[in-house]
Amino acid sequence: MDRQEIIEKTELFVKQTLSKDSTGHDWWHIHRVRNLAKRIARHEGANIFIVESAALLHDIGDYKFFQGDEEAGIAKVEEWLSSLEISPSLIDKIMEITSQISFMHTLPAKGERSNKKNFPIPTLSKELMSVTDADRLDAMGAIGIARAFTYGGFFNRPIYDPTVKPSKSITREEYKITESPSINHFYEKLLKLKDMMYTKLGRKMAKRRHRFLNLYLKHFFKEWKGKM
């Protein structure tokens, strides 16, 4: 099985697995992250096969998030990769990315002190940085806004409630179970992403998407008050 075949098979597997998702983790999210991750990877000189495989599989492991079972998500990715003709060292590299990519993992656990930038991983591969930046960029800008309200709607969250303030230092446990309005998610996650980019191109693109988030919020609150 050559690499192109592995990618095509993986694409089909991911499409089938995520086909019923309406939480913002749909196939088109994977499609965008895959293309963006490859673009960043070319700038970084990262291994494109690892990046493309990991981008395709990054939310299969993230299924843990919805079922509350992290190990099951990781096992599912491993099972898939082991069914293909890929060397164990490549499998390790791909799995390192899919198991570490989640924003949730950058949050401190309950009782744990948050380090200022919330960067828990000491050495990062170019491949991990490329896929992570691409995934985070897809949570920002016009698309990020659409995804936040899609996610919020799926979990019956209101768009905004002025009596519920955003949590300043949300922990991993709170992030999982939060029932706060979707607008709060901008303050709890989306506006933080700009400073969490690992790559040069990621930072450049994040700047524009961040600006758009701020512009959106400005309009939102003006309209909320009936001033615009």
Question: 217: closest CA among 111, 133, 128, 144?
Answer: 144
CA distance linking residue 175 with residue 103, whole number of Å: 10
Q: Which does 125 bind (CB under 5 to 8 A by kind): Ni ion, ligand ADP, none?
A: none
Q: Is 44 in the site for Ni ion (CB under 5 A)?
A: no
Residue from the set 182, 198, 199, 210 that interacts with ligand ADP by CB under 6 A? 182
Q: How many CB atoms lie within 10 A of CB 174?
A: 14
Please pick, from the candidates 102, 125, 130, 199, the single residue that binds ligand ADP as defined by CB under 6 A: 102
What is the C-alpha separation between 63 and 69, in angstroms, rounded?
Answer: 8
Token pair for 154: 């799926």
From the list Ni ion, ligand ADP, none, pick the one residue 102 interacts with, judged by a Cβ distance below 5 to 8 Å according to partner type: ligand ADP
The span of 74-82, 92-100, 131-139, 140-148 binding Ni ion (CB under 5 A) equals: 131-139
185 binds ligand ADP (CB under 6 A): yes
Query: Which of 61, 141, 152, 202 forms a contact with ligand ADP (CB under 6 A)?
Result: 152
Binding mask 190-209 for ligand ADP (x = CB under 6 A): x-------------------
Chain residues binding ligand ADP by CB under 6 A are: 24, 62, 65, 102-104, 135, 139, 144, 147-148, 151-152, 178, 182, 185, 189-190
Residues forming contacts to Ni ion in the complex (CB under 5 A) are 59, 135
